[in-house]
């Protein structure tokens, strides 16, 4: 169709000073973390590994399609190491080239999903120290996500205290694939601490977790698993609303990361409809779910859904609210969204400013 082709060829040069809400810093080698771990845990990992709820000790359960666990072919640093591991190359290849004013790091190294809870806490501490030493210390454009053990709230709170007031960390990071839905009371202590530290909680899609990736069991292929990332974020949003978490913590900010966003409007409509019908079950939920969601939840955009009629995404943005979306690239992963091409439909200037810069600046208090 001619119109579609024309829309797809629209290049929208973005020179706003972008905030990229999903950049993955990577270790040069998996052993890099050992440098930040006490001797006891180095020995433990050498003997027993860092076990998590997945079939393989280190490999991701659903193999990706490109070398390096699914990374952009052009993101391999010329001086060696895997994509995302070389700060200088990340600067020239991504931050400078795309005019990234701020980038929010999302370390995917385990810790929060390590089964041994003491090891998990030590790994979270190590990953946070590694972010400080290798990334957010040397490069002020980059901001850290404070990795914590959501299943062990005391350890998580201790980690928050350790970095209290350090504005290099701009959010608390936990995976959406938790043992129980994230709104349940076992997580309230952690949520209360995040609110107290005035930090949003960012939940980034995870490649494995303690439960099947669908309610009907394990899917077979990566193409299914990749889609199912959105399920985990839907569960987070529904659970926080229905458990009354937003009533209890009226200043809580939640960021749903790397799940796309076109699923949000239908989820809000469905929640509202069936809450209205069954609200006697959840008397602590005082208002329609969509009202809480509009006030408390933000979404990073990647992977931007691509309707066949590009302009349909504008309806989606209108239904969610342009003030809720925060641009992200997912650099250096294969499904990276380029700021110049991510949106196939033309956004008006006010919307572009909100999505590419201003929403994230406000949520993360960047300046």
Partner 1 sequence: MMPASRLRYNDSVGGRASTILGAEAQVTLPHQGAIDCDIHPAVPGTKVLLPFMDEFWQDAIQNRNIDRLELASYPPGAPLSGRPDWRTQAGNPGSDLAQLRAQALDHFGLSHAICNCLYGAQAVYDQELGRVLCRAINDWIAKEWLDREPRLKSSIVVSLMNPELAAEEIERLAGDRRFVQVLVLAMGEMPLGRQFYWPIYRAAERHGLPIGIHAGGMVRHAPTQAGFPSYLVEDYVGQTQGFSAQLLSFVAEGVFVKFPGLKVVLIESGVTWLPSLMWRFTKDWRGVRPEVPWVKEPPAAIIREHVRLTIQPLDGPPDAADVERIVDQLGSDDMLLFATDYPHWQFDGDDVLPPGLPARLHEKIMIDNPLATYPRLKEAKQ
Residues that bind partner 1 (CB under 8 A): 65, 176-182, 184, 209-224, 226-228, 230-232, 234-236, 238-239, 242-243, 260, 262-263, 265-267, 269-275, 277-282, 303, 305-309, 312, 315-316, 319, 334-335
Report CA-CA distances (Å) from 156 to 84, 117, 152, 182, 198.
26, 11, 6, 15, 15
Rounded CA-CA distance 78/140 in Å is 23
Report in angstroms how near the CB of residue 167 gets to partner 1 at its nearest.
30
Report in angstroms how near the CB of residue 160 gets to partner 1 at its nearest.
22
Q: Up-side HSE of residue 5: CA atoms within 13 Å toward CB?
A: 2
Report CA-CA distances (Å) from 183 to 48, 107, 252.
32, 23, 12
Report in angstroms how near the CB of residue 358 gets to partner 1 at its nearest.
25
Residue whose CB is less far from partner 1, 67 or 266: 266
Residue whose CB is less far from partner 1, 33 or 297: 297
Report in angstroms how near the CB of residue 142 gets to partner 1 at its nearest.
27
Report in angstroms how near the CB of residue 97 gets to partner 1 at its nearest.
22
Residue whose CB is less far from partner 1, 86 or 243: 243
Residue whose CB is less far from partner 1, 334 or 362: 334
Residue whose CB is less far from partner 1, 282 or 366: 282
Report in angstroms how near the CB of residue 227 gets to partner 1 at its nearest.
6
Rounded CA-CA distance 359/363 in Å is 6
Residue whose CB is less far from partner 1, 239 or 359: 239
Instruction: Cite the DSSP H helix spans in the chain.
Output: 2-8, 39-48, 67-70, 87-90, 117-131, 153-162, 188-196, 222-242, 245-248, 264-278, 289-296, 312-320, 349-353, 359-363
Report in angstroms how near the CB of residue 141 gets to partner 1 at its nearest.
28
Residue whose CB is less far from partner 1, 273 or 287: 273
Report in angstroms how near the CB of residue 20 gets to partner 1 at its nearest.
20
Tell the burial category of 248 from Cβ atoms under 10 Å away from its Cβ (0-12, 13-18, 19+): middle
Rounded CA-CA distance 296/139 in Å is 30
142-147 sheet: strands from edge to edge: 18-23, 100-105, 142-147, 169-174, 201-204, 254-257, 297-300, 325-326
Q: What angle do CA 257, 261, 262 make, to 5 degrees?
A: 160
Characterise 218 by phi-psi region: left (phi > 0), alpha (psi -120 to 50), beta (else). beta
- 352 three-class SS: helix
Residue whose CB is less far from partner 1, 140 or 215: 215
Residue whose CB is less far from partner 1, 122 or 230: 230
Rounded CA-CA distance 130/301 in Å is 27
Report in angstroms how near the CB of residue 291 gets to partner 1 at its nearest.
12
């Amino acid at each position: 169709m001619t119109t579609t082709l024309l829309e797809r060829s629209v290049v929208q040069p973005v020179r706003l000073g972008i905030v990229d809400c999903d950049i993955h810093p990577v270790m040069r080698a998996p052993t890099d973390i050992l440098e930040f771990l006490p001797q006891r845990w180095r020995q433990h990992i050498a003997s027993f590994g860092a076990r998590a709820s997945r079939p393989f000790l280190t490999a991701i359960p659903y193999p990706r399609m490109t070398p390096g666990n699914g990374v952009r072919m052009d993101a391999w640093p010329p001086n060696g190491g895997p994509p995302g591991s070389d700060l200088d190359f990340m600067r020239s290849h991504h931050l400078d080239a795309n005019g990234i004013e701020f980038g929010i790091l999302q370390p995917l190294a385990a810790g929060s999903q390590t089964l041994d809870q003491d090891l998990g806490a030590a790994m979270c501490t190590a990953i946070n120290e590694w972010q400080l030493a290798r990334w957010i210390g040397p490069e002020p454009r980059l901001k850290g996500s404070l990795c914590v053990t959501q299943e062990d709230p005391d350890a998580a709170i201790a980690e928050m205290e350790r970095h209290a007031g350090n504005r290099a960390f701009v959010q608390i990071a936990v995976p959406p694939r938790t043992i129980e839905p994230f709104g349940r009371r076992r997580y309230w202590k952690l949520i209360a601490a995040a609110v107290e530290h005035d930090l949003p909680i960012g939940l980034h899609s995870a490649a494995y977790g303690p439960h099947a990736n669908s309610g009907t069991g394990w899917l077979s292929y990566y193409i299914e698993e990749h889609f199912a990332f959105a399920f985990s974020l839907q569960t987070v949003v529904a659970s926080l609303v229905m458990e009354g978490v937003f009533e209890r913590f009226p200043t809580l900010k939640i960021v749903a990361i790397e799940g796309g966003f076109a699923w949000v409007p239908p989820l809000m409509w469905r929640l509202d409809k069936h809450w209205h019908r069954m609200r006697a079950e959840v008397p602590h939920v005082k208002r329609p779910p969509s009202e809480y969601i509009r006030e408390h939840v933000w979404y990073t955009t990647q992977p931007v859904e691509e309707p066949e009629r590009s302009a349909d995404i504008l309806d989606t943005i209108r239904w969610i609210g342009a003030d809720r979306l925060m641009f992200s690239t997912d650099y250096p992963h294969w499904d990276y969204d380029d700021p110049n091409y991510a949106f196939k439909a033309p956004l008006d200037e006010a919307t572009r400013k909100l999505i590419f810069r201003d929403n994230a600046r406000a949520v993360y208090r960047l300046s």
